[in-house]
Structure 1
């Protein structure tokens, strides 16, 4: 073998081969990082919309119980959009079943969909999945009005009496 051939092999092994591996490593790492960032961003968007769908469905149920059908329908439309785009196949099926029941005037019970959304969110947030059905707390605004007026009446009395003492 000639001296020139050995010099080329030595140059190739010491300079070019590590450079090629470095370029491949940088490209692979960048590509992997981009895929991870994209996956995390999509997951964040899905969680945001699923959380909003869960909250909107709760609002729709509460407003339906207070006989505010227009507001309830508005929230149900928001739920339908979010679930159809970001929901699991099970959630989409539950939504279709309930919308058909509403169209046929057979009532509406969104408990199954609400439970599915809740359990999916709990899985995503790495919380234990709840097996019991959701309990909706329906509080009429009149209850809050009475509580507020009693609190503020008591607050005003104590504030005025404290000011008179000074």
Structure 2
């Protein structure tokens, strides 16, 4: 005697549900872009006329830069800022997934006390927000990422 799940009460419904779940999983897995093949664009911070007058404490003048977040990439994943500059990243989520921006601290590690994270924990599609960050005084390279897509959505900030 063979066991046939379709002969059980609700067996056909169960098989239909499993089939739909499997098909939907594959469709979603391949329909959502992974962000591969996106070329990086370097953005160099320039001083605005209002920022020309640096404070008397020798603090470097800062500025702002627009950063668009897509699925799953930053449109500008290579940024350059002056040492000691205070920079505001104006963030826009132009994708369909949730995103954020986290800048690692000098330790180069994420989720540590010296990280700086965007003002919204997450940006839903169409959201805008900001991240204000103080560059270190010494030259070097700082990494950033989206906490929700930590492999695909990464970038570097050259402090030079």
Normalised by the shorter chain, which TM-score bucket? 0.3 to 0.5
TM normalised by structure 2 equals 0.32
Greater strand proportion? 2
Flag the structure with more relative contact order, 1 or 2, with Cα contacts below 8 A and sequence separation at least 6. 2
Q: Which has the larger radius of gyration?
A: 1
